[in-house]
Amino acid sequence: MDILQITILGVLASLLYILLKEVHGSIAFLIILITGIVIFFSIIQQIQLIFETIRKLGDQANVQGLYLTTILKIIGISYIAEIGAHLTKDAGLNSVSKYIELAGKIFILLLAVPIITAVIEAIIGFIPNV
- What total number of domains does the chain contain? 1
Looking at per-residue pLDDT, the higher value among 130 and 73 belongs to 73
pLDDT value at 65 more than 80: no
Q: pLDDT, tens digit, for every residue of 79-113?
A: 899 999 998 898 889 999 999 999 999 999 999 99
**Averaged pLDDT score across all residues of the chain:** 88
10 occurs within a structural domain: no
Cβ(36)–Cβ(85) below 8 Å: no
Residue 11 lies in a domain: no
Rounded to two decimals, the pTM is 0.70
Which pLDDT score is estimated for 130?
59
Has residue 37 been placed in a domain?
no
DSSP state of 98: H
Quote the percentage of the chain above a pLDDT of 90: 37
Would you say residue 29 has pLDDT above 70? yes
In a domain, residue 22? The reply is: no
Flag whether 75 is in a domain. Answer: yes
Q: Is the pLDDT of residue 128 over 90?
A: no
What value does the CA radius of gyration of the chain take, rounded to a whole number of Å? 20
Q: What is the Cα–Cα distance from 10 to 20, expressed in whole angstroms?
A: 15
Average confidence (pLDDT) over 25-54: 88
Amino acid (1-letter code) at residue 86: H
In a domain? residue 86 = yes
Has residue 5 been placed in a domain?
A: no
Residue-number span of the structural domain to which 83 is assigned: 64-130
Q: Does residue 115 lie within any of the structural domains?
A: yes
